[in-house]
Amino acid sequence: MIVTVTANPALDLTWHVERIVAGGTHRADTGAARAGGKGLNVARVAHAQGAPVRAITTVGGATGAEFADELTAAGVPHVLVPVAASTRRSIALVDEALGDTTIINERGVAPTASEWEALKAAVADALRADARVLVISGSFPPATPDDVLPALIALGRNAGAVVIADTSGPSLLQAADAGASVLKPNEHELRDATGLADPLDGARELLRRGAELVLLSQGADGMLAITASAADPDLQVLHARLDRVLAGNPTGAGDAAVAACAVLMDAGIHDPEKILRRATAWSAAAVLMPLAGEIHPSCPDLERDLIVVPAAFAPATHAEKPLPARETASDVVSHADSGFSPAAGAPAPDSPASGAPTPASDRRNPR
């Protein structure tokens, strides 16, 4: 089973307008509202693909009631931890003329100490139900205690689960230090967290701290799977990209990549190339769907169309510390948004097409 944790959920509100004009008044048809947050998007995708999942998050206030109703209607197995603060909102305005999306994310309010404990207890209970994978995705509310993320990762490792973390900033380094097996940054997040301009140097730093696999998005250039080991500190790098750039909605593409990784690992598949192929294909399939948390049924065809090659050899330098040897929650030895971008005149979901090779971003409910 896959357990997902969303510490800073949001009610996602989406409106489509013909053209966004700054300072103007706009009219739109009735928008879409759904329970959102990166971990929930991961759970939706995995559940739709037949994987056993349990999504754990917090919920509060009137917004939280609407959030809970939608999640229940969606049929995704979940546990909701009540909190006093109202669930935040994420507002997306889609410009139909340009194919651009403007997103406004409320920051959210941190749970109280007792509410954090209730969340951790819910995670521990779910992990005891034969969970093999723990996914921790998205941002944490402002003023979250520093020990929350390490405590969640420790719960997963102590239960024998593979821990996948999709977060950013200091939390990305914290996740590596705490023993997350798989990390899924994009290039901007990796550079921001490590302060290193070269993405391979940044990935090496995460591996040195204890991660086993780094899935790194390169926007329109595709995705990298980067691994190393204590015995062989030289980086092993695989690069995957589609043979064309897709036009569509990149919101949630990174969550689909995480879902792909989680589903394979839950099935006992830890091979970096297989994970990279599935993650890149599901990211592309997510671009072809109007809402995050969904992938297009053409994903098997997209996976067959991938170009996967070894990237340039990246030797470790003598100045670097060797990768630490440590016991891990899995035998994985080796998470980034898709290399696919929105474009003006995006096609309908059943019509993959080429678009301008501009970097994609998974901006809804960012880390």
Asked whether the CA dihedral 89, 102, 139, 160 is positive or negative, the reply is: positive
Residue 277: CB partners within 8 Å, gap ≥ 6? 240, 303, 306, 308
Catalytic residue positions? 255
305 and 241 Cβ atoms separated by less than 8 Å: no
83 and 67 Cβ atoms separated by less than 8 Å: no
Candidates 70, 80, 76; CA nearest to 32 is 70
Given the DSSP bridges, would you call strands 53-59 and 78-82 parallel, antiparallel or unpaired?
A: parallel
Give the side-chain half-sphere CA count within 13 A for 139. 22
Backbone angles phi, psi at 239, to 5 degrees: -120, 130
As a whole number of Å, the CA-based R_g of the chain is 19
Inter-helix orientation angle 272-287/253-266, to 10°: 140
Distance CA 174, CA 33 (A): 33
Backbone angles phi, psi at 39, to 5 degrees: -65, -35
Tell me if residue 65 falls in helix, strand or coil.
Answer: helix
Distance CA 341, CA 350 (A): 16
99 and 345 Cβ atoms separated by less than 8 Å: yes
Residue 226: CB partners within 8 Å, gap ≥ 6? 200, 203, 204, 207, 213, 214, 215, 216, 235, 236, 237, 334
